[in-house]
Structure 1
Amino acid sequence: MSSISQRGNERLLSEAAGTHSRDYKILVLGGNGYVGSHICKEALKQGFSVSSLSRSGRSSLHDSWVDDVTWHQGDLLSPDSLKPALEGITSVISCVGGFGSNSQMVRINGTANINAVNAAADQGVKRFVYISAADFGVINNLIRGYFEGKRATEAEILDKFGNRGTVLRPGFIHGTRQVGSIKLPLSLIGAPLEMVLKLFPKEVTKIPLIGPLLIPPVNVKSVAGTAVKAAVDPEFASGVIDVYRILQHGH
């Protein structure tokens, strides 16, 4: 192949990739949070149009990428506030979750996200991706409402979106977490644990009591990369994606 032909093919591929990127408009629910902000950055890096909805609206971060996101303020417990943000959206990625009393956790992790799933389905959104959480055995019982809400949302996604819905179940998510003006280097602990624990066979996580503690942590960038793939790639696996598959897809 001549260099001219090769350059022509590269240009066509580049234009095709650009068109593909412009075709996808991603709404990140909770895009100003720890995981959500990394998802916004990853989607922007890949050339997608990105917007976010959260109760506080615009991110408080001063990074340059913040200006490239369309920020919406709304509350998923008031479903009507979601409708304007869903206009023209192709894919939704939800990072919404939190802790509190059992009833609060069911509302935040369950009811709020279920409202979003139903609104997205009614709006004709093509794909829905949800950042859930791995099972931690007996720990689940200590924060029962958290997992009750998460699993209820998962069931709603699989019901409303079927093979167009993906649930990611990471364990401990490490990386650099911004809290006010302080950057918490969670990878100081998470990265070495990830390197060690991912060497163990997956079966060890099934050992009673101690097994769930051997679930490898995963870098927030791997979670973000996997979430964006799931949101834009119609060939990406639907259903529940565990930590080990996130590790594979995120690299």
Structure 2
Amino acid sequence: MSATKRIVVFGGNGFLGSRICRAAVARDWDVTSVSRSGAPRWETVTSSPTPPSWSHKVAWERGDIFRPAQWTSLLHGADYVVHTLGILLEADYKGVISGRESPFSGLAKAFSPAKGAHSRNPLERVRDEGAAEPGVEPPTSPAQLTYEMMNRDSAILLAKEAAKEGVKAFGFVSAAAGAPVLPSRYITTKREAEAVVAREFPEMRGVFFRPPFMYDQSRAATMALAALATAGSAVNGLTRGVLGGFFGAVATKPLKADLVADAVVEALADETVKGPVEMPQLKELAHRAWRKTML
């Protein structure tokens, strides 16, 4: 009998992260989630405020991704580490939703150029500045969160610590493409993270998931956006992909979040899966995982 696999999911209390935890629990893996707030507020990630039965098998730990001392010990003995963190807008998105901040100010921040040291990845800063360890000064307010910090630097810092611990595989939730309402830096910072992790930590199998827009019935807003994306995908198909470059992710058919989560866990378990995982392979991996549940 094989030893129990151990997975640590950063951002495991989020929309996709919680579903990755669920899929890993279904395989009887030892599952740890790391996030700033610990366990999820279940009404924000599912259709019920009541914790599901599988959630009691997850260790819901607290830790700030930019403060490694808070979580490096949790990587000891891990087989897989997954990074699901990221931001769509460089703004206090909770403030936007609650009305405390205008969506227009969020877009203005997003389209502004990167500033200061946050425009360079932390490993480059170590080499150029002679520091002993890479690091990013933790943000003191949501307004300081940038694409470079959340979509790229946090992934690089986590990958570095995972490699030091001898983790077998590092999963990074990237993205299929940009979208017309988001600046190019949203996707370029994701791609930069992929490139740096693959180059700097070749001894660790890097798996870079590139899902399109994800939806679930528990989040009404995602269903409406999924319908829009599905329509965009149909139009793109009729025009033979002519609009794909302009519409980005909106021209790609969305996927159910549970399907993506199943694909992530299946890919980590398969030692032959490495590098970018695009939509067709995500669907194939999820189908393979589903077949295993039917045996």
1:166 partner letter: V
2:229·2:250 contact (CA, 8 Å) conserved in 1? no
Which residue number in structure 2 is paired with residue 28 of structure 1? Answer: 9
Write the distance in 1 (CA, Å) between the matches of 2:37 and 2:186.
22
CA distance in 2, matches of 1:131, 1:229: 14
Q: How many residues align?
A: 224
1:234 counterpart (261, 271, 288): 271
Greater fraction strand: 1
Separation in structure 2 between the aligned mates of residue 145 and residue 54 of structure 1, nearest angstrom: 24
Partner of 2:195: 155
- Secondary structure at the residue paired with 1:204? coil
Amino acid in structure 2 at the alignment position of 1:239 = G
Could you tell me how far 1:94 is from its partner in structure 2?
A: 1.2
1:65 and 2:54 equivalent?
Answer: yes
Correspondence for 2:216: 175
CA contact (8 A) 2:214 2:257 kept: yes
Matched ranges for 1:68-217 at <5 A: 68-98=57-87, 99-100=89-90, 101-102=109-110, 104-136=146-178, 139=181, 142-159=182-199, 160-161=201-202, 164-177=205-218, 183-184=219-220, 186-187=222-223, 190=226, 197=233, 200=237, 204=241, 207-210=244-247, 212-217=249-254
Aligned-pair distance for 1:231?
A: 1.6
1:130-181 Cα shifts (integer Å, max 9, x gaps): 1111123655xx434432331221112212146711101111101134xxxx
8 Å CA contact 2:171, 2:209 repeated in 1? yes
Inter-CA distance 132–162: structure 2 relative to 1 (3 Å threshold): farther
Unpaired runs of at least 5, structure 1 = 1-15, 178-182
- Identical columns (%): 27
* Structure 1 stretch displaced more, 36-45 or 64-73: 64-73
Secondary structure, counterpart of 1:186 in structure 2: helix
- Between the aligned partners of 2:71 and 2:279, the Cα distance in structure 1 is 30
The residue identity in structure 2 corresponding to 1:230 is A
Residue in 1 that maps onto 2:31: 50
SS at structure 2 position matched to 1:176: coil
3-state SS in 2 of match to 1:125: coil
**Equivalents in 2 of 1:223, 1:195: separation in Å?**
20
Distance 1:175 1:233, change over 3 A: same
CA–CA separation in structure 2 for the residues paired with 1:124 and 1:162: 9
Alpha-carbon distance in 2 for matches of 1:193, 1:132? 18
Could you tell me how far apart the structure 1 residues matched to 2:244 and 2:231 are? 20
- How far apart in 2 are the matches of 1:56 and 1:134? 28
Say if 1:77 and 1:227 are closer, same or farther in 2 by CA, change over 3 A. same
Letter in 2 for 1:233: D
**Is there any run of 5+ residues in structure 2 with no aligned partner, and where?**
43-50, 91-108, 115-145, 288-295
How far off is 1:114 after superposition? 0.9
Distance 1:205-1:173 versus aligned 2 partners, 3 A rule? farther
TM-score normalised over the length of structure 1: 0.78
The equivalent of 2:261 in structure 1 is 224
Query: What is the DSSP-based 3-state SS (H/G/I as helix, E as strand, rest coil) of the residue aligned with 2:61?
Result: strand
2:280 to 235, 244, 249: 244
Residue identity in the other structure for 2:282: I
Distance 1:210 1:187 in 2: 19
* Closer, same or farther: CA 171–192 of 1 in aligned 2, 3 Å: same
Check 1:211–1:150 CA distance in 2 against 1; reply closer, same or farther (3 A cut).
Answer: closer
State the SS of the aligned residue for 1:107.
helix
Please, which moves more after superposition, 58-67 or 45-54?
A: 58-67
